[in-house]
Amino acid sequence: MKTNKFLDEIPSISKEEKEKVKKKLLVLNTLKDSLKEQYKKADTGEKKRVLKQVALGTTIKNIKLSDYGYEQGTWNFFEASFPADGVDGAIKRKLDQRVSYGHDITNAEEAYSFLLDNVNVEIHYFSETNIEQMNQIILNVVVPVKGTMTLHHIIYDRQNKHTIYYKTLSCICDENEPCVYGEDMKQHDLVQQQQTNERENMRLKQKREENTQSSLALSADDRTKSNSKKKITILSLVKLTPKDLPLLPLQLNSINKDFDISTGHDLRHKSEILTTQKRQNVPKRRNEIDKKKPKESNA
């Protein structure tokens, strides 16, 4: 950046020549994982913006190197087995302390709820649905690089926006000179061809529709099986056999969905018989009562 300002202040060099010099000289070399500390110590707003985009994990494609006067950029990654530090380490220790006091944290939502009230850090919670939606977008567009954990040097060139070059070891050798480590640069295309993307998107869409239909069918089968196990009795369809007649008054009072007899006569017919029998018994009962009463003597 200082070189940019220096070139702009030289009046004897034309604008076209200045641009050529900038393209040849200016390359952004970034050391990843320590960028957050570098960002805190950055002395200019412009430098902070570049470091912030990389430190927050912004994709290389979205970082407009030309806006900062850079033609090419390299990203150098440290080993993956570094200890947790900074904000990440503080959050991890806070959760470990919570567990050590006998409180279980079984999922991300519980950790999120606890951290909201116990750390002075801005926390955001992303559900599995949010992550799945983002994964669908990334998987349909970006082609991943195999062996991510072994990569420590990535080069991006504005002339090839959808291509990166990578190596296992980091170095800042000139592109026209052989690498001092004797390692060949590998090439990787980040974005698939448009036709391939459309076919893959169509395949994923059909698969999701098939899974949805299958889930609905299984749910319907489960409901059908569940309902078939239940005994649903309609009063007008209940039938009794002759041997059940003595219990008919009790059954009429306590009948429920578990009461199901498949043979015999219609319950409505039996109800009529029962009513008739009750009516016939009423006079007999009255006669018995009359017999027990003492006869009144004539005055």
Tokens coding 171: 């170095």
User: Would you state the pLDDT for residue 60?
Assistant: 42
**Per-residue model confidence as pLDDT tens digits over 199-215:** 666 777 777 777 777 66
User: What distance in Å separates the CA atoms of residue 129 and residue 169, rounded to the nearest whole number?
Assistant: 37
Residue 112 CA from chain centroid, whole number: 16
Rounded to an integer, what distance in angstroms lies between the CA atom of residue 20 and that of residue 96? 55
3-state SS assignment for residue 262 = coil
Domain ranges of the chain: 2-77+130-195, 235-289
**Helix (H, G, I), strand (E, B), or coil: what is residue 86?**
helix
CB 127 within 8 A of CB 187: no
Query: pLDDT under 70 in the chain at which residues?
Result: 1-15, 17-72, 78-86, 138-141, 158-159, 172-183, 192-201, 214-299
Give the residue among 58, 62, 65, 123 at the shortest CA–CA distance from 90. 123
Find out whether 79 and 100 touch, Cβ atoms under 8 Å: no
pTM for this model (two decimals): 0.33
Pairing of strands 72-76, 153-157: antiparallel
Determine contact, residues 155/185, Cβ cutoff 8 Å.
Answer: yes
Q: Which helix (H) or strand (E) holds 72?
A: strand 72-76
